[in-house]
Amino acid sequence: MIGGLFIYNHKGEVLISRVYRDDIGRNAVDAFRVNVIHARQQVRSPVTNIARTSFFHIKRSNIWLAAVTKQNVNAAMVFEFLYKMCDVMTAYFGKISEENIKNNFVLIYELLDEILDFGYPQNSETGALKTFITQQGIKGQVRTKEEQSQITSQVTGQIGWRREGIKYRRNELFLDVLESVNLLMSPQGQVLSAHVSGRVVMKSYLSGMPECKFGMNDKIVIDKQGKGGTTDDSGKSGKQSIAIDDCTFHQCVRLSKFDSERSISFIPPDGEYELMRYRTTKDIILPFRVIPLVREVGRTKLEVKVVIKSNFKPSLLAQKIEVRIPTPLNTSGVQVICMKGKAKYKASENAIVWKIKRMAGMKESQISAEIELLPTNDKKKWARPPISMNFEVPFAPSGLKVRYLKVFESKLNYSDHDVIKWVRYIGRSGIYETRC
C-alpha cells in the first residue's frame, strides 16, 4: 500500500510530507527530488523506481504530488487516489497552488490522516468529509451524540455521498450534457479516428433522500422497448437512438441494476457531481470540416490555404471558434488574409491563430497565408504538425438526448412534477485535428 505522500513546489522543496509506513524513510523525499524533479531529462514515466522504491507522481500546475511505496501496490488505485486527493483539496480551498497549500497545511494533514489509513484509501467523498473536517476548526466538542453517530454512519455507510435531512424550499436540478468531440482527419478528408467522450454533470438541490431515474436515447434500451411492444413510445424514439460504446458511472449509480436492466437509478449526492461518462464512435456529427492546402514554393516560402465548413443546422450558432495553423520554426514573416474573424501569426507559439466569434451552421470561411522562411541548412524536415481547432456548439455531437429524469421521494411531500429541471447540451472540441 501507499507508504508515504509528499507534495513539492516547482523547486523541489517539500510542502507536505506524510509517512504511513515504516519502510519509507526521510531519504525518499530527497530521492524523488533529485531523480525526478531535478532530473535533467524530461520525465519519461509517471512511475519511477529508485532503489527498490516506487514513486508515483502527478503534477497540478507547478505542484508535484508524489506517492511512495515499497510494495507491489495497485498502481491504478494510487493514481486514482492522487487525483481524488486533488479533488478534495480543491473542494476545500480552491486551486492547488503553493500558497494555498501552505495556508492550509494543517487542514491537509488532517485530511490525509482521514482519507488514508496505513496507506489504504478510506472514504474520500467531499460531502462526507466536510461534515466533520472543517476549516474553522473542529466542532467536535459541541456535537450531540446523535450528530456524531450520524457522521460516522455516513462516512462508513452505503450512501456515503449524501447526508440525511437535507431540505430545500425549491427542489431544483440542472443537467448538463457536456461532450468533447475528437477527430483526426487525413489531409484528403478521410476520417482516421473520431469519437465523442461525454459527461453528464448534474447539480441537484433536492430535499430528503430522493431516488432518481435517468433515461436517455440509448439504442439498447430503445430497441428493447420497441420489441417489448410498448407501441406508444417505440414509433417516435426508435429513429433517434444512439449506440453507446461504453459508459462509466458515479459510485451512487447501482451498477448491478444497470448491468441487468440497463436502467440508471441512484440517490444523488447534494450539489454538483458527475453522474456518468460515456463514449460513442458511431454516427458522430462532426460540427466542422477543415480543408487544408499547403504548398511549398521554393525553399523559402510556403503557401497555406485553409477552408472551414460548418456542418449543422443553420439556426444554431457555434462559438469561440479558433483554428491553429502551425508554422515552421524558421518562419521569418507571415501575411494572412481571412474572410471572417481575426487572424494573427504568433511567433512564440509557431502558429497562425485564426479566431471567429460566432458562426452559423452550413456556412464556410477561408483563410490564406503566405509564410516566408529563413533558409536553413538543417537537414531535418519540418514535421508539419496537424491543424487543430477549438469551438463550442449548443448541441451534443453524439446525438445523445435526455429522455427523462424522474425524482421519487416517498417520505417528503413533493413529487416529480414539483421539481424544476433544466437540461443543457454543450459540444466542445476535444482534440480536433486535421493533418496537412
Q: Per CB under 8 A, which of residues 55..74 are in contact with another protein?
A: 56-58, 69-74
**22 contributes a contact to another protein by CB under 8 A:** yes
Burial 385-413, CB ≥16 within 10 A → b, else e:
bbbbbbbebebbbbbbbbeebebebeeee
Q: Is 313 helix (H, G, I), strand (E, B) or coil?
A: coil
The one segment of 231-239, 302-310, 316-324, 385-393 that binds another protein by CB under 8 A: 385-393
Output 160 or 397, the one with its CB closest to another protein.
160
**298 contributes a contact to another protein by CB under 8 A:** no
340 is in an annotated binding site: no
Handedness of CA 128, 133, 134, 135 (dihedral sign): negative
Among positions 165, 232, 383, 417, the unique one binding another protein when judged by CB under 8 A: 383
**77 contributes a contact to another protein by CB under 8 A:** yes
**120 contributes a contact to another protein by CB under 8 A:** yes
Half-sphere exposure of 78 (CA within 13 A, CB side): 24
Cβ-proximal residues to 413 (8 Å cutoff; 6+ apart), any chain = none
Phi, psi of 108 (to 5 degrees): -65, -45
**246 contributes a contact to another protein by CB under 8 A:** yes
- Is there a contact between 200 and 274 (Cβ–Cβ < 8 Å)? yes
- Is there a contact between 243 and 282 (Cβ–Cβ < 8 Å)? yes
The distance of closest approach from Cβ of residue 211 to another protein in the complex, given in angstroms and rounded to an integer, is: 16
**187 contributes a contact to another protein by CB under 8 A:** no
344 is in an annotated binding site: yes
Among positions 166, 184, 294, 353, the unique one binding another protein when judged by CB under 8 A: 184
**240 contributes a contact to another protein by CB under 8 A:** no
As beta bridge partners, residue 279 has 197, 246
The distance of closest approach from Cβ of residue 423 to another protein in the complex, given in angstroms and rounded to an integer, is: 21
Among positions 75, 209, 307, 402, the unique one binding another protein when judged by CB under 8 A: 75
Output 83 or 404, the one with its CB closest to another protein.
83
The one segment of 209-217, 296-304, 374-382, 404-412 that binds another protein by CB under 8 A: 374-382
Q: Is 204 helix (H, G, I), strand (E, B) or coil?
A: strand
The distance of closest approach from Cβ of residue 2 to another protein in the complex, given in angstroms and rounded to an integer, is: 11
Choose among 113, 107, 100: nearest CA to 137. Answer: 107
Within 10 angstroms of residue 242's Cβ, the number of other Cβ atoms is 20
Distance separating alpha carbons of residues 3 and 20, to the nearest angstrom = 5
Among positions 25, 31, 79, 286, the unique one binding another protein when judged by CB under 8 A: 79
Among positions 39, 62, 95, 118, the unique one binding another protein when judged by CB under 8 A: 118
The one segment of 129-137, 303-311, 335-343, 353-361 that binds another protein by CB under 8 A: 129-137
Output 171 or 434, the one with its CB closest to another protein.
434
- Is there a contact between 234 and 222 (Cβ–Cβ < 8 Å)? yes
Q: What angle do CA 155, 106, 118 make, to 5 degrees?
A: 50
**175 contributes a contact to another protein by CB under 8 A:** no
